[in-house]
Amino acid sequence: MSKHASSASGAGASRSTLAPPAANGVGSGNRKSALVPTNSVTTQDGTTVRARIDPTLTVEDVVRQLCMNLKFAAQSTNYALRDDNGELLTNDNLRRMIKNKSHLRLVNSAAVEAAAIIEKLYARDDEGQNTNWKFALFSLQKFLREEQFAKEFLYRDGLRVLIDVINTQHGNTLAYALTAMQNLMELDYGWSDLDSAFILKIVQILSSPQSLVNVCRPATAILKKLVEADPSVIAGPQAASSSTGAPAAPPDSVYCYGFRVVYEQMCREKGLLETVVGRLGSADTATALHSMMLINSLLSNVSDDQWDEFVFQLERLNVRKAVIRLMSSHTVDDLTSCILDFQANMLRVTHRKMVTLVEPEVEPAHASALQFIWESSKVREDVDPEGGVFKWRKVGFASEDLIQEFTEVGVLGLDCMRNFVQEDPEFFSKVVLEQLSRPQERRCPIAKASNEVVELLSEHWAIFAPGYQTSTTFQPFFLNFYRVHTLATHFFLRMWNESGSAAGDFTRIAALARSQVNVALKRENVKEWHEVEHDFVESEYRAVRDRQMKELEAEDELLSKVPVRNLKEKLYKESFEFVRQQRIHCMMQGAWFMNAVPSNAGPKDVMRRPAKPWRFMRLDNSSKYLNYVDSAVKFPVRNGIEDLPDRVEISSIAEITTGTCAPPPNVLREQYDLPPAGPLTPSPLSFSIISSIDGTSIADHIAPDQGRWADWTDGLNMLRRDSGHVTSDETKGYVDALTEIGLKIKLLDLSGEKVDIPSGLVAGPPPINTDFFFSDLI
């Protein structure tokens, strides 16, 4: 850098200017140098100089030349540059800082700052050091978001010091330390040796009802991070250790924890889950949000061997009921994404129960449920004419083979039937005895009816496709699955009695039940529970039958056959994946958005228009970073990320909220078809990216049209590891339309060939021995 005279304003400012070297030399009269933006730099003693910084240099070279021109005695490695907002100057943001003519400050380097903070943390017990110690801990929260500082902090054994603070402090001081740890854990290295004692401490902090809100938030985020640091993420499914069968992460990898490690400590502190579920009802939205995120993370990462126990505990704590209450609370706007994630997780839970076999001879819980059902029936087992036991056929099963009877509905069917009996054991006993008093052909098979209702509800809520959830609205009745099953089973029995049905009419009554399920559960996001009860309890047989006949006239009987429904399930998954790839491809192309103002902003925020109204965003090819640039005007953006100096890590995104922000004052509304209401009216095309670090908004945007809004809100949700939902009706419509088109094409092929599609296939008896082979098909 060369130095030459210039005027500088302000107290303590020097009369000097710094300019970068050039091949032909840069001076005050050089026309080329006049085009280079000028930054002001303030040193630690208050001196301000003006400098033209060559954007091709590295930050290290810039600091070195600055120190040389100012004739500093200390080494340049002891210094760094920050802007007025405290953002560290790095090679990634250097060009942006120069272009924006940011005011820079010469400050201590990351190494010097880290050494100073650790020294202060060590001195916290010394007399007179308490204020400095707390300020150092407060500053540590911000500094640990910077990788350069974090590296120096870890190199100086800062992690051990921070853990010691967490173990010994409480109140706001503990909140500072936990937030610092949370920020440190955004790195993918440096915290691979956290022991079980530390994890237990975090669990204990969360378990305490007395913990402050600002303590619970970072503690929840830390535990969530540990749950998601599963070895299988990085080691892959094939890398398993010989001792435990669990995936083994590479040495020093932070992916060495996961659900098993965290759950082991959770079991030592029994009140954790109860406290976390209880916080879903907190008046503080952020507390409810973080608790919801932790529950979703646990559900998404629960290990197979602990799945039954963990899900049972959540069900025992009525987590579904707590989430249903959240759906109608005033905080719902901030929690929408998390609630939809929870619905998707519960869909996976329900599906897993449905495909888990009922094995009473292996699982004591299955045997206990069946015993309760049998005892509640108050009937005795008999011996049939062939000498076999006549027991389960008395309560409505087709045979005594319970494994076979529950094949289609699994443990879900067993749980539903047990809940049906438990709701009113006397009614169940009365119905069983009543059916047994009838002739054989007039009896309603109660158990078979219960399982049939489970299948109808599973079909209605698309439980066949876990991980491919396209519902964009709340489904409180789905979360009340057992209660809806009880209502629908009562309806089935009533229709059987009112129609005077016989054994051959089972399929006809099932069709009536299917029709009523679809009607009663329609628009469940706006329907009240008493309306659902009325639809099932008060509907008359004749009215239901007439409506169902009209539905049959408008629908092809072929679509209700099991093979066709199975084909539709397969096509549905393929369509979902196709739309997902299309959304991600759109994000890789990039798009312009308007920078918006949060609709809940204060008066000062409302009047503060974003410095640059436009933002271009593009997803990189690795799908790990969202690169962007802010600009005063739109300009042609080249391919790649060269024009996009800033970025957001996808893993740091907690959720995508929609309808949360409004256009800033005095924007060109006609370009975005915005409503003419006041400045705080949220735009339907707005969305916010919420940080997983502190739960605040990283960015607030308004999309130019409905298509781009759907591309980006659903695309970002589909990229998140713990998300299984979409946001827009447009995406849901695409998936449904592709499924229907694919199904019609497949059925045209079959109908053209006049292939007869059976309603179902019955497997023949198994071979009596292994003395057989499969012939080759020619």
pLDDT band per the 50, 70, 90 thresholds, residue 655 = confident
Contact 264, 196 (CB under 8 A): yes
Query: Strand pairing partners for 618?
Result: 627
pLDDT of residue 298: 94
Instruction: Considering only residues 490 and 52, tell me which one the structure prediction assigns the higher pLDDT.
Output: 490
- Tell how strand 686-691 and strand 653-658 pair up: antiparallel
Nearest to 104 by CA among 89, 91, 120, 126: 89
Tokens read off for 475 = 């489904």
Instruction: Considering only residues 70 and 245, tell me which one the structure prediction assigns the higher pLDDT.
Output: 70
| Three-state secondary-structure class, residue 688 | strand
Nearest to 619 by CA among 583, 575, 658, 652: 583
| Three-state secondary-structure class, residue 114 | helix
| Three-state secondary-structure class, residue 608 | coil
pLDDT of residue 606: 45
Q: In the chain, what percentage of residues exceed pLDDT 70?
A: 81
pLDDT band per the 50, 70, 90 thresholds, residue 182 = very high
pLDDT of residue 621: 87
Tokens read off for 68 = 């040389």
Q: Which fold has domain 573-731?
A: PH-domain like (2.30.29)
pLDDT of residue 534: 93
pLDDT of residue 545: 87
Query: Strand pairing partners for 619?
Result: 626
pLDDT of residue 96: 82
| In the chain, where the domains are located | 2-108, 120-235+252-350, 364-555, 573-731
pLDDT of residue 319: 95
Residue 719 burial class via C-beta count within 10 angstroms: exposed 0-12, middle 13-18, buried 19 and up? buried
pLDDT of residue 332: 64
Query: Which region among 314-318, 646-650, 669-673 has the lowest average model confidence (pLDDT)?
Result: 669-673
Query: Which region among 221-225, 285-289, 515-519 has the lowest average model confidence (pLDDT)?
Result: 285-289
pLDDT of residue 11: 35
Kindly report, residue by residue over 250-290, the tens digit of the pLDDT: 777 888 999 999 999 999 988 899 999 999 988 888 888 88
pLDDT of residue 556: 56
Q: How far are the Cα atoms of 463, 489, 518 from residue 459, in angstroms, in the given order?
A: 6, 15, 10
Query: Which region among 203-207, 419-423, 500-504 has the lowest average model confidence (pLDDT)?
Result: 500-504
- 2-108: which CATH architecture? Roll (3.10)
pLDDT of residue 600: 62
Kindly report, residue by residue over 3-44, the tens digit of the pLDDT: 333 333 333 333 333 444 333 233 333 444 445 577 888 888
Kindly report, residue by residue over 711-721, the tens digit of the pLDDT: 888 888 888 76
pLDDT band per the 50, 70, 90 thresholds, residue 204 = very high
Query: Which region among 141-155, 420-434, 468-482 has the lowest average model confidence (pLDDT)?
Result: 468-482
CATH of the structural domain 120-235+252-350, one choice from 1.10.1530.10, 1.10.1200.10, 1.10.10.10, 1.25.10.10: 1.25.10.10
Kindly report, residue by residue over 630-641, the tens digit of the pLDDT: 888 888 888 888
659 contacts: CB under 8 Å, gap ≥ 6: 333, 682, 683, 684, 686, 687
Q: How far are the Cα atoms of 306, 366, 612 from residue 296, in angstroms, in the given order?
A: 16, 27, 36
Kindly report, residue by residue over 35-72, the tens digit of the pLDDT: 557 788 888 888 888 888 888 889 999 999 888 888 88
Query: Which region among 33-37, 455-459, 508-512 has the lowest average model confidence (pLDDT)?
Result: 33-37
Tokens read off for 298 = 């646990």
Nearest to 120 by CA among 76, 176, 183, 73: 176
Beta strands per DSSP E along 384-467: 389-390
Mean pLDDT of the chain: 82
Nearest to 679 by CA among 664, 694, 669: 664
Nearest to 152 by CA among 184, 197, 188, 198: 184
Nearest to 185 by CA among 215, 216, 228: 228
Contact 107, 75 (CB under 8 A): no
pLDDT of residue 607: 44
Q: What is the pTM of this model?
A: 0.72
Q: What is the mean pLDDT of residues 382-388?
A: 71
Tokens read off for 605 = 């925020």
Tokens read off for 62 = 């810039």
pLDDT of residue 510: 92
